[in-house]
Amino acid sequence: MYTVKGKNYPCCTSVTMGIIGGKWKTVILFYLIEGPLRYNEIKKRMNTVTERTLSLQLKQLEEDGVVNRTVYTTKPPLKVEYSLTEFGKTLIPVLQSIAEWGDFVVANHSDTAT
């Protein structure tokens, strides 16, 4: 049994999935590999996610220390950017592997492969 930030996990894989699991977290993190993005930039790339879900996922990633939320208040309008933390950057090889495997699946096992 593993305990991370007060949560118990049965194995190392469940620790990873506890942080990046779900439908949208890996997608958000994958887009943030390129660099900081504003909320609306993330939303445009993920046009099928609801605003509530995106906000909740970003908040959870921030609470887990994977994503940094920076608020710029020097001039209106308020600007908020999201970026990977140093801890979050350690996920880049994992995210790239997940994306490569997804490309493999689409190319070799999809009915709609292009």
pLDDT tens, position by position, 52-74: 999 999 999 999 999 999 998 88
Q: What is the pTM of this model?
A: 0.87
Q: Does some domain include residue 40?
A: yes
Q: How many domains does the chain have?
A: 1
| Helix 25-32 / helix 51-63 crossing angle, nearest 10 deg | 70
Q: How far is CA 13 from the centre of its chain?
A: 17
pLDDT averaged per 10 residues in sequence order, the chain, 114 residues: 85 89 94 96 95 96 96 84 97 94 90 60
Q: Does some domain include residue 52?
A: yes
Q: Does some domain include residue 3?
A: no
Residue 1 carries which DSSP code? Answer: -
- The enclosing H or E element of 68 equals strand 67-72
Give the per-residue pLDDT at 85: 98
CA torsion angle 108 43 59 81 (round to 10): 110
Give the CATH number, domain containing residue 82: 1.10.10.10
Give the per-residue pLDDT at 113: 47
Q: Which domain holds residue 53?
A: 23-109
